[in-house]
Amino acid sequence: MENQTHLDKLEAEAVYIMREVAATCEAPVMLYSIGKDSSVMLHLAMKAFYPQKPPFPFLHVDTTWKFREMIAFRDRKAREFGIEMLVYTNEEGVRRGINPFDHGSAYTDIMKTQALKQALNKYGFTAAFGGGRRDEEKSRAKERIFSFRDKNHVWDPKNQKPELWDLYNTHIHAGESIRVFPLSNWTEKDIWQYIEREHIEIVPLYFAKERPVVERDGNLIMVDDERIKLREGEEIKKKKVRFRTLGCYPLTGACESEAETLEAIVAETLGAVESERTSRVIDHEASGSMERRKREGYF
Amino acid sequence: MSQIELLKFITCGSVDDGKSTLIGHMLYDAKLIFADQEQALLLDSKVGSNQGKLDYSLLLDGLMAEREQGITIDVAYRYFSTERRSFIVADTPGHEEYTRNMAVGASFAQLAVILVDASKGVLTQTRRHVRICSLMGITDFVFAINKMDLAGYEKQTYEDICDDINELLAGFYTSGAQMIPVSATEGDNVTFHSEKMDWYKGPTLLAYLEQVQIKEHTGRHFYMPVQRVCRPDYSFRGFQGQVASGTVRVGDTLTVLPSGETAGVKRLFSLDKEVSCLAEGMASTVVLDREVDVSRGCILADGEFFCRSNLFAAQLLWMDDEPLGIGQEYDLQLTTENAIAVVDEISYKVDIHTGAHEKAQGLRKNEIAGCLIHLQTTMILDSFERYPRMGRFVLIDRVTNQTAACGVITHPMHRSENVVWQELEITREIRAKALGQQPKTLWFTGLSGSGKSVVANIVEKKLAAAGRHTMLLDGDNIRIGLNQDLGFSERDRTENIRRIAEVAKLLNDAGLIVLVSFISPYHSDRVRAKQIIGDAFSEIYVSTPLKECERRDVKGLYKKAREGRITDFTGIGSPYEVPKHPDITIDTTNADPEVLADQIIEKIFMQSDR
């Protein structure tokens, strides 16, 4: 029998982690952000429990500012796979008119961080799978695969439980919860290679196509609906762009690209000159901002 | 393209050894750094005190808190790949109080890169790094002898240090050890061969990491700890887990541990694909050809080659702020199984620098000790050396839920294995067979003075005469001893009966025939006793009427009760509930107790025993 390749090993590790959570945690949920990492997570979950469906629901925290194509993709995938897809929106934030244009980092806090906490509390989930990878950002490089949150969903980077071998301690007190990152040891390159190998369908926004964009603070922002407020001097241009990461459309920068196929994307990624989160606007605010956000409960 | 393998390694060194710089430089040289991180590095460098010069170490440092302190406080993971391999580097701190972090990194790694400062040579901390890595199971080492630039790139310095390292390694089991002279800041022998050290003919650090073959520490045997049972509907029951070692094919016979039951392999799945064979490391689902009891924590194996034990010697590395509590219960996790564990004694503490064994009273964070650990239940386990996965565990504090310690089993105790064998294998049936009889409990119920004890005594004598092994439990005797704390309230009477029933059951388990002579006036208590004792239970109602009992009044109790000197006396101040369906009813008013005893023996033993 052939030796396992590095992708086989990463796949087996992620599946092992998912099975451990399903077997030992009371109320697990898989967070689904519709992005490529979430697509990989969903794919792995379908394989991990086969012929059973994943024994937990999926949860999408909808800020109401996601690309329309993402929402359509989410609903279609949930139908196709026959999985339970919970969608949660911070209605209080919607009522107060919180939006990414006027409220900056408060928007992220209210519509993402707070919304996630509310959703986890509402359903009483004790373990939430996330697609976070350690190669994404410096503070993630030090986070455990099983990351513990107190009653207020706060992470204490100085008091992490040691993780030894493949023995994961999932014991928690009432009210506490665990964030679990089965893709911790994957790199962006691994993700793309795996998508290619497994023929995993991803949101078309990842592929280059002519799209209407405006240039703003050095980022190309796609005009996905009429809610975008054009600033003085900004004009909508058609450019051939794709997205390396997907989030809320006003906060997600596109990159100009000719990569229309997976092979082209992988080739482009292998020679990547920018790390992935460069195109996520919020991460630029201050050095160490991600870690601060995580301590406050951001995923 | 995806045929590359994966190598996980750990780097060990002290704060000043230049470890972060070494790894940072390797990434940098190999042009593996994304452009904007490089920019950030430049920026960060300027902010730092390195006067605009590239500080490679900043690539490895992450958390704000540690950037402020200038030391690495945790385990950081870095990812890079070359055309030959993918690498995951666990960067672990070298500072004294962080032994536990190094253990975490080492448990993750297949190989350790240990930094030695060429100007200082092998230090006690070098021994400590090797010791912790070795404890966690690493047998492949690379020694990066760093700061060769400060040692004038002298061959002699390198060779002296190599000698010291070889001497150090003599005390450990290693399968590979490479010593490479490098300069992390200058880049000599990191990714490119050093011109200044042309006397060194071996591989560069990166080249070595790209080609080293790690000897997988696994045997030929197939085994897989079960993570969960996959049961989508009644037609499918699969056992899911990761194959720990060996291979299995459809048609093979597997043993379920700990039950020892065997079954054939009917179907195999590698994730969602049905296959005919599974090998080590694969995420698997196994379907057996017959119904056997399998749940999480069981192990599917191609034989019974592991130990079965509830006592073992282990080396423990303590990780919690709260020190070890001798005699305190911890939750022990080994493979996918848990058991309650107690550390009975600390045999010795390991001097982390010299390896010497010392006497010790307690065990604190970052200390290593040899301990005797006792489990509340028997587990399938083995020594870490023989089967690493079966011999490594963590202890979890049952109050705080913290992972308090990690450990490796050095010697499973076979003494307890024997005890356990008895518990598991010497059943009531086997004990009864050895005594040549069927265990029974004959429960005599009836009023005081009804003749219960008289008849029970005769029955016992007759059985003994026939070579049977018996035990008589008399109400009065039990009340003097075992149940002397109980009075005659309804609650105490109930507890009294419960205890008697439990004792009767134990004696039945020992293979004995038990005769219980006890008023036991309440129907519900007798039903409970029957539930506890099970099928061995026979109810014998001694129905001698109250009038006759009171006439006999052997102990003078009825008289006292009538005078009100005893309250709650059965039949007088307290009711006697007549059995609804006794197995036998006898009345001693006008019958010979000898005859009644024969009737009982005939009815209970002649029918079932022959």
Report the residue from B4, B65, B401 with minimal CB separation from A5: B4
Distance between CA B269 and CA B363 in Å, rounded?
A: 45
Name the residue in chain B with its Cα closest to that of A43.
B272
Distance between CA B475 and CA B295 in Å, rounded?
A: 44
More confident residue, B26 or B314: B314
- B78 to chain A, any CB pair closer than 8 A? The answer is yes
Task: Say yes or no for a CB contact (<8 Å) between A273 and B34.
Answer: yes
Q: A interface mutation test: which of B23, B75, B226, B267 has the most A CBs within 10 A? A: B75
One-letter amino acid of A277 = R
The confidence score (pLDDT) of residue B73 equals: 55
- Taking the domains of chain B in order of start, what are their residue ranges? 6-211, 223-301, 308-415, 431-609
What average pLDDT does range B119-132 have in this prediction? 89
The percentage of chain B sitting over the pLDDT mark of 70, rounded to a whole number, equals 88
Q: A132-146, B302-316, B419-433: lowest mean pLDDT where?
A: B419-433
Q: A interface mutation test: which of B228, B242, B331 has the most A CBs within 10 A? A: B228
Task: Say yes or no for a CB contact (<8 Å) between A49 and B35.
Answer: no
Q: In whole numbers, what is the pLDDT of chain B averaged over residues?
A: 85
Distance between CA B6 and CA B87 in Å, rounded?
A: 6
The confidence score (pLDDT) of residue B30 equals: 65
What does DSSP say about strands B176-181 and B140-146: parallel, antiparallel, or unpaired?
Answer: parallel
pLDDT tens digits along B566-587: 877 888 888 899 998 899 999 9
pLDDT tens digits along B380-390: 999 998 889 99
pLDDT tens digits along A217-230: 888 999 998 888 88
Query: In the CATH hierarchy, which fold is given to the domain comprising B223-301?
Result: Elongation Factor Tu (Ef-tu); domain 3 (2.40.30)
Work out whether the CA dihedral B390, B395, B399, B402 comes out positive or negative. negative
Q: B interface mutation test: which of A17, A81, A138 has the most B CBs within 10 A? A: A138
- B65 to chain A, any CB pair closer than 8 A? The answer is yes
Task: Say yes or no for a CB contact (<8 Å) between A197 and B2.
Answer: yes
Nearest to A131 by CA among A201, A205, A57, A44: A44
Report the residue from B101, B104, B394 with minimal CB separation from A169: B394
pLDDT at B137 over 80: yes
Q: Write the DSSP string, B526-567.
A: HHHHHHHHGGGEEEEEE---HHHHHHH-TTSHHHHHHTTSSS
Task: Say yes or no for a CB contact (<8 Å) between A23 and B228.
Answer: yes
Strand-pairing partners, residue B403, are: B396
Name the residue in chain A with its Cα closest to that of B138.
A165
The confidence score (pLDDT) of residue B607 equals: 59
Per-residue CA distances from B102 to B239, B354, B394, B547 (Å): 34, 18, 15, 83
Task: Say yes or no for a CB contact (<8 Å) between B77 and A273.
Answer: no
Residues of B in contact with A172 (CB under 8 A): 401
What average pLDDT does range B499-516 have in this prediction? 92
Per-residue CA distances from A252 to A10, A242, A277, B88, B137 (Å): 28, 11, 10, 29, 45
Report the residue from A163, A166, A274 with minimal CB separation from B35: A274
What average pLDDT does range B278-282 have in this prediction? 93
What average pLDDT does range B63-90 have in this prediction? 69
Q: Which CATH class is domain B431-609?
A: alpha beta
Per-residue CA distances from A129 to A32, A54, A172, A180, B337 (Å): 9, 12, 16, 5, 23
pLDDT at B68 over 60: no
| Total-model pTM | 0.74
Nearest to B176 by CA among B147, B217, B148: B217
Give the CATH number of domain B6-211: 3.40.50.300
Q: A101-115, A146-160, B105-119, B147-161: lowest mean pLDDT where?
A: A146-160
Report the residue from B2, B240, B269 with minimal CB separation from A193: B2
pLDDT at B409 over 70: yes
Residues of B in contact with A171 (CB under 8 A): 331, 396, 401
Alpha helices, H only, B49-95: 64-69
Residues of A in contact with B392 (CB under 8 A): 164-165, 167
Q: What parts of chain A have a pLDDT lower than 70?
A: 1-2, 137-141, 270-299
- B607 to chain A, any CB pair closer than 8 A? The answer is no
Q: Write the DSSP string, B363-401.
A: --TT-EEEEEEEEEEEEEE--TTT-GGGSEEEEEETTT-
Domain B223-301 in the same topology as domain B6-211: no
Residue A31 DSSP label: E
Q: B interface mutation test: which of A165, A244, A265 has the most B CBs within 10 A? A: A165
The confidence score (pLDDT) of residue B609 equals: 42
The confidence score (pLDDT) of residue B604 equals: 85
Residue carrying the six token digits 């603070």 = A217
pLDDT at B42 over 70: no
The confidence score (pLDDT) of residue B299 equals: 96
Name the residue in chain A with its Cα closest to that of B100.
A162
Both structure tokens of B481: 């001893």
- B387 to chain A, any CB pair closer than 8 A? The answer is no
The confidence score (pLDDT) of residue A18 equals: 98
- In CATH terms, the superfamily for domain B308-415 is Translation factors (2.40.30.10)
Beta carbons of B58 and B48 less than 8 angstroms apart? yes
- B287 to chain A, any CB pair closer than 8 A? The answer is no
pLDDT tens digits along B244-260: 999 999 999 999 999 99
The residue from B45, B453, B520, B538 that is catalytic is B520
Both structure tokens of A148: 């513990």
pLDDT at B98 over 80: no
Task: Say yes or no for a CB contact (<8 Å) between B242 and A12.
Answer: yes
- B238 to chain A, any CB pair closer than 8 A? The answer is yes
Determine the distance in angstroms separating the CA of B110 from the nearest CA of chain A, rounded to an integer: 11
B520 is catalytic: yes
The percentage of chain B sitting over the pLDDT mark of 90, rounded to a whole number, equals 50
